[in-house]
Amino acid sequence: MSDLNAAVRSLLIPLTNDTLLLPNASLAEIVNFSDPVPVEDSPEWFLGLLSWRGLQVPLISFETLKGESTGDQAKKLRIAILNAPSGNDALPFYGMVVQGIPHLIMASQSIVSSLSEQDEEVGVLAHVLVEAEPAIIPDLEGLESMLLDNSLNVA
């Protein structure tokens, strides 16, 4: 099979300290940041509920979930509205705080390579190199499960 046939339309999405690599189909929309409505007794990584297209969408901070500081928020914050992978009607979408504008790429084995074994991290499926630059493939199903399992009133 040629690299072109094995390529997946993907997005490189900048965070404060990292870059995410996601399949293009997982992204519903990028919207400007707006403050979510906080939810009592929720984990620090769960920022609250965001009104989007008539829905209440849970908003997470991937970096806070990983235990990282978001540091200087000098770049313009945005929200990536993600399609929840399971198709569960209770949580069709969730949002993630990102920085900057995503960059569309055709991800293939010729430009994406896996890094050596890494310690398991919450919310991380894999660490990779994309054209020699480090990126993280987030565990979208795991993130969805965390939102549902934490009974965060996301439905």
User: What is the overall mean pLDDT for the chain?
Assistant: 85
Full set of structural domains in the chain with CATH: 3-149 (2.40.50.180)
**Each residue's pLDDT tens digit, 108-150:** 776 676 766 666 788 898 888 888 889 999 999 999 999 998 7
Confidence of residue 4 (pLDDT cuts 50, 70, 90): very low
pLDDT at 24 over 50: yes
pLDDT at 6 over 70: yes
2-25: burial string, b at 16+ Cβ within 10 Å, e else: eeeeebeebbbbbbbebbbbbeee
**Each residue's pLDDT tens digit, 80-103:** 999 998 888 889 999 999 998 899
